């Protein structure tokens, strides 16, 4: 009974990390590349890749319990310099997601209030989230699970209703999207679709931070993560079919908040208000988790003296990494307004999917290095190296497909800028660290 309870708790946490409002925005970005059964195949392919990733992640986490995953794995497998670059690359992805969540939060508020009032409400909500984090408080696990249940129930309800053709109510929304049907005849493109589908599972590996018993890494955590992968794939598959049932495929890619569009078709202010409130709470909860997680990564790097010690300073009775949180918040607030520009917004799903595919490939390659060195720490799952190697190569191929796709010119420019910034930052950090070390020796 205790084992089953732990599996359900870890599954709920993993599902809550992945079932977010921002992922709905990425979901609709699949429709220009795949539709119907081909979209389901993309979800299955991404789910299979994610199953391999979570099993490898679980095994690697058992070797470094409580550590920042990507940092610990890559440092041992590929060396410190590569590890710092990979960790900062991950933080960049978190910043992009945070900017998207703030932008979506503003769109949700605009659906209720005037733009000016919505802006003030957004500042108040973000200020509250930041204040709570700076004081060292965190959302309770029960509240996070409750948010997960609310979002899942909302998506399932909207999906079931939308697929009920008898209840279709013709509105201006449905009539206008029907005019875009001619744009849905694009060719099937799995290289662009699968990385986006993979993003729908983002964050489920963070459930490892809630493992309290080492023996759980052997059985309960892998079962919980695999269960989460299946549930997430099922929920998004159902939601995707509901969107296709209600809207023309060519219009779906332009929906920033597809669940809100479904609620509008209900033609009920109560339903729309309920969806907006649940979505707002879910976005703020997700932003809160991302803020604390990214701050923890910078704090950890600061403690290791890989970045300036300013990031490792703790404040208050609860010893919160205030400086790291303020830095993350400032970066996210700078990124959020960029989401309103069509050029940047249209490249966002490509950027995020490329980041994630590359990071997960790095995790799998680190697992292969550990197995080759015959590291006997932690647990050992029944995973064949050939399967892991093939999955890693597949992730690198789809990441390359996104990068070299002819229509992704803006994304390539942004990524090249990111890489240049990481190279310069890495060079500066290691030079600074070496000078500091030599100064201490002198």
What DSSP line would sit under 236-298, residue for residue? HHHHHHHHHHHS-HHHHTT-S-HHHHHHHHTT-HHHHHHHHHHHHHHHHHHHHHHHHHHHHHH
> Helix %, strand %, coil % for the chain, to 5?
80, 0, 20
Q: What are phi and psi of 125, to 5 degrees?
A: -65, -45
Q: Measure the CA–CA gap between 236 and 249, rounded to whole angstroms.
A: 16
| Regions of the chain with pLDDT less than 70 | 1, 66-68, 138-141, 165-187, 431-442
Q: Measure the CA–CA gap between 177 and 251, rounded to whole angstroms.
A: 6
Displacement of CA 107 from its chain's centroid (Å): 19
Of residues 199, 191, 192, the one with CA closest to residue 360: 199
pLDDT recorded at residue 385: 92
First to last CA, the chain: 60
What domains are defined for the chain?
A: 2-435 (1.20.1740.10)
Sign of the C-alpha dihedral computed for residues 183, 186, 192 and 194 taken in this order: positive
Q: Are 155 and 259 in contact (CB under 8 A)?
A: yes
At 384, list the tokens.
């064949």
Task: Count CB atoms within 10 A of the CB of residue 383.
Answer: 18
User: How would you label 183-199 residue by residue, b for 16+ Cβ within 10 Å and e otherwise?
Assistant: bbeeeebbebbbbbbbb
Q: Measure the CA–CA gap between 399 and 429, rounded to whole angstroms.
A: 28
pTM, two decimal places: 0.86
pLDDT recorded at residue 175: 39
Q: Measure the CA–CA gap between 202 and 217, rounded to whole angstroms.
A: 20
Tokens 């709905």 found at: 24
Q: Measure the CA–CA gap between 434 and 431, rounded to whole angstroms.
A: 5
pLDDT recorded at residue 229: 93
C-alpha neighbours within 13 Å on the C-beta side of residue 326: 12
Q: Measure the CA–CA gap between 77 and 369, rounded to whole angstroms.
A: 6
């Amino acid at each position: 009974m205790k084992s089953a309870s732990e599996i359900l708790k870890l599954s709920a946490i993993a599902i809550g990390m992945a079932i977010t409002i921002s992922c709905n925005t990425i979901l609709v970005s699949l429709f220009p590349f795949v539709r119907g059964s081909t979209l389901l195949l993309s979800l299955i392919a991404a789910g299979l890749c994610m199953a391999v990733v979570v099993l490898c992640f679980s095994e690697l986490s058992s070797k470094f319990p409580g550590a920042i995953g990507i940092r610990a794995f890559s440092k041992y497998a590929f060396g410190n310099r590569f590890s710092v670059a990979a960790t900062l690359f991950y933080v960049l992805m978190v910043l992009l997601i945070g900017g998207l969540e703030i932008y979506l939060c503003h769109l949700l508020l605009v659906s209720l209030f005037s733009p000016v009032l919505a802006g003030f409400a957004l500042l108040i909500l973000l200020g509250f989230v930041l204040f709570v984090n700076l004081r060292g408080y965190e959302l309770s696990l029960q509240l996070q699970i409750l948010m997960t249940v609310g979002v899942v129930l909302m998506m399932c309800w909207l999906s079931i209703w939308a697929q009920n053709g008898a209840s279709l109510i013709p509105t201006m929304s449905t009539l206008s999207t029907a005019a875009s049907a001619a744009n849905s005849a694009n060719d099937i493109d799995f290289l662009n679709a699968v990385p986006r589908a993979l993003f729908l599972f983002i964050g489920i590996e963070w459930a490892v931070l809630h493992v309290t018993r080492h023996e759980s890494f052997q059985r309960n955590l892998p079962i919980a993560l695999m269960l989460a992968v299946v549930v997430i794939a099922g929920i998004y598959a159902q939601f995707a079919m509901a969107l296709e049932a209600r809207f023309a495929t060519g219009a779906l890619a332009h929906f920033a908040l597809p669940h809100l569009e479904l609620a509008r078709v209900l033609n009920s202010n109560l339903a729309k208000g309920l969806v907006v409130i649940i979505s707002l709470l879910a976005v703020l909860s997700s932003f809160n988790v991302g803020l604390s997680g990214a701050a923890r990564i910078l704090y950890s790097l600061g403690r290791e003296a890989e970045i300036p010690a300013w990031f490792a300073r703790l404040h208050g009775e609860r010893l919160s990494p205030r400086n790291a949180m303020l830095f993350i918040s400032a970066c996210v607030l700078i990124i959020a307004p960029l989401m309103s520009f069509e050029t940047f917004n249209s490249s966002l799903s490509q950027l995020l999917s490329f980041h994630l595919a590359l990071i997960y490939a790095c995790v799998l390659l680190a697992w292969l290095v550990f197995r080759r060195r015959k590291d006997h720490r932690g647990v050992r799952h029944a995973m064949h190296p050939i399967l892991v190697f093939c999955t890693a190569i597949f992730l690198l191929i789809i990441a390359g497909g996104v990068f070299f796709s002819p229509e992704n010119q803006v994304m390539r420019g942004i990524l090249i800028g990111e890489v240049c910034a990481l190279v310069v930052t890495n060079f500066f950090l290691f030079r600074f660290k070496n000078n500091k070390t030599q100064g201490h020796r002198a």
